[in-house]
């Protein structure tokens, strides 16, 4: 197994309060890992530390063995960590197709030229993403006019088009209808194996649908890790989180 993302003794000290306090885990290439934990456990902060939004005060983050700890956010993104936020960062005035083209080029200014001369491999990847996300009927719609679900799928599609090596998803189903949540689960399940994903999610029905191996955080630390079925039976996890 190849380690895609290695988190080793990671810590951040917010003026005496360690929101992430010696967290370690390894996510293998092709793995779909779900991070669980009660509110305030440090899940979002962990994502912030991995993506470079917040600087850590101790520990390391490695992407395919290469240290990326505390690099600037844009460098970490360039290195291959793609993060999807709850509020999408699509270009609202561009069509779905142009958003996907921009994601290939990384460079909004040149996307028009690139669309003409885009490499066949890039075009093929965009077509795959369109099929995966079901965005075909809205390709010529500007992103600002999409439904909430479509907007989220577009942003996820853009991360795939950009060939992010590790994709971080923070509550991907927040604000979604049941039908949208179900479609999101289908999309994420199809990515398993070919993509490496780290997903923070509270919706347990959704988690049960997608999760294999889960990581449970509590008070900034690793509380438990293992197959979902086993973790759900773990007394420490039930006490700290599942509340049953
Ligand atoms: P989770 O995502 O698991 O709900 P968070 O990572 O959002 O938890 O937050 C963990 C804890 O860290 C919370 O108690 C939160 O208030 C605190 N926290 C997060 N960011 C900061 C910050 N910039 N300064 C101080 N405390 C913070």
pLDDT of residue 117: 60
CA of 18 to the centre of ligand 1 (A): 9
Question: Above 0.90 for ipTM, yes or no?
Answer: yes
Q: What is the pLDDT of residues 144-195, one digit of tens each?
A: 999 999 999 999 999 999 889 999 999 999 999 999 999 999 999 999 989 9
Q: What is the pLDDT of residues 11-38, one digit of tens each?
A: 999 999 999 999 999 999 999 999 999 9
| Mean pLDDT, rounded, for 210-236 | 94
**Buried/exposed code over 59-95 (b: 16+ C-beta within 10 A; e: otherwise):** bebbbbeeebbebeeeebbebbbbbbeeebebbeebb
pLDDT of residue 102: 85
List C-alpha distances in Å: 76 to 79, 80, 89, 197.
5, 7, 17, 16
Q: How far apart are the C-alpha atoms of 171 and 168, rounded to whole Å?
A: 10
Structure tokens at 52: 């470079």
Mean pLDDT score across all residues of the chain: 91
**Stretch(es) of the chain classified as CATH 3.40.50.300:** 1-80+165-244
Identify the sign of the CA torsion 209, 215, 216, 220: negative
Structure tokens at 98: 């142009």
pTM of the model: 0.92
For helices 148-161 and 178-191, what crossing angle results, to 10°? 10
CA of 19 to the centre of ligand 1 (A): 6
Q: DSSP code of 19?
A: E
What is 1-80+165-244's CATH superfamily?
P-loop containing nucleotide triphosphate hydrolases (3.40.50.300)
Cα of first residue to Cα of last residue in the chain, in angstroms, is 35
Whose CA is closest to atom 16 on ligand 1?
A: 40
What string of DSSP letters covers 49-70?
HHHTSS--SEEEEEETTEE-TT
Q: DSSP code of 41?
A: S
Q: Which atom of ligand 1 is least distant from the CA of 170? A: 2
pLDDT of residue 84: 82
């Amino acid at each position: 197994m190849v380690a895609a993302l290695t988190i080793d003794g990671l810590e951040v000290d917010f003026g005496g309060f360690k929101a992430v306090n010696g967290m370690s885990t390894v996510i293998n290439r092709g793995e779909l890992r779900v991070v669980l934990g009660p509110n305030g456990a440090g899940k979002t902060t962990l994502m912030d530390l991995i993506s470079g939004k917040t600087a850590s005060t101790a520990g390391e983050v490695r992407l395919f063995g290469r240290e990326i700890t505390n690099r600037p956010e844009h460098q970490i993104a360039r290195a291959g960590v793609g993060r999807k936020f709850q509020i999408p960062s699509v270009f609202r005035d561009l069509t779905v197709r142009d958003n996907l083209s921009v994601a290939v080029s990384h460079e909004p200014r040149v996307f028009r030229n690139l669309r003409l001369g885009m490499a066949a491999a890039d075009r093929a990847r965009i077509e795959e993403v369109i099929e995966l996300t079901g965005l075909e009927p809205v390709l010529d719609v500007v992103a600002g006019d999409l439904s909430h679900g479509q907007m989220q799928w577009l942003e996820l599609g853009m991360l795939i088009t950009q060939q992010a090596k590790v994709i971080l998803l923070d509550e991907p189903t927040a604000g979604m209808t049941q039908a949208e949540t179900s479609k999101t689960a289908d999309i994420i399940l199809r990515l398993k194996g070919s993509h490496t994903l780290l997903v923070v999610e509270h919706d347990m029905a959704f988690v049960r649908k997608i999760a294999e191996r889960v990581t449970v955080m509590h008070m900034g630390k690793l509380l438990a890790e293992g197959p979902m079925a086993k973790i759900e039976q773990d007394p420490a996890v039930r006490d700290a989180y599942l509340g049953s």
